[in-house]
Amino acid sequence: MGKTKVTFNVERLQYSVDVLYALAHPLRLKILEYIDKHGEINVNRIYRALGLEQSITSQHLKVLRLAGIVHARRDGKYILYRLDYVVLERTEKAIDNFIAFEQTRIAV
């Protein structure tokens, strides 16, 4: 029996890793929930409302921004953050599809 060659699109795989890594932290999920609740919002309001340090909040927002989950825009001296709902919906659908596939595979 021969071995099957497995190949991955490295760029797509890295993007998936970045998105899942960004979503796999409870504090980042709280930040996402807060942004979702308030729409576009600046970092000051986020860290004050969640009782976090500004530097920690900024670090988590950077991870979310680099993964494409949040977008930032400057408004005077403030940077406003908003969610990219398309990325979040696609990610949720991909995870649901993977779990459904695994459940059917295990059941067989």
pLDDT band at 6 (very low <50, low <70, confident <90, very high): confident
5 domain-assigned: no
Contact 70, 64 (CB under 8 A): yes
Structural domains in the chain (count): 1
What is the reported pLDDT for 1? 56
8 domain-assigned: no
85 domain-assigned: yes
Q: How many of the other CB atoms lie within 10 Å of CB of 31?
A: 26
What is the reported pLDDT for 20? 96
76 domain-assigned: yes
The pLDDT tens digits for 33-62 are 999 999 999 999 999 999 999 999 999 999
Query: pTM for this structure?
Result: 0.86
Q: What is the CATH number of the domain that holds 53?
A: 1.10.10.10
Structural domain of 87: 15-107
What is the H or E stretch that residue 18 is in? Answer: helix 10-23
Burial of 46: CB neighbours in 10 Å, binned 0-12, 13-18, 19+ = buried
62 domain-assigned: yes
CA 68 from chain centre, in angstroms, equals: 7
Residue 70 has pLDDT above 90, yes or no: yes
33 domain-assigned: yes
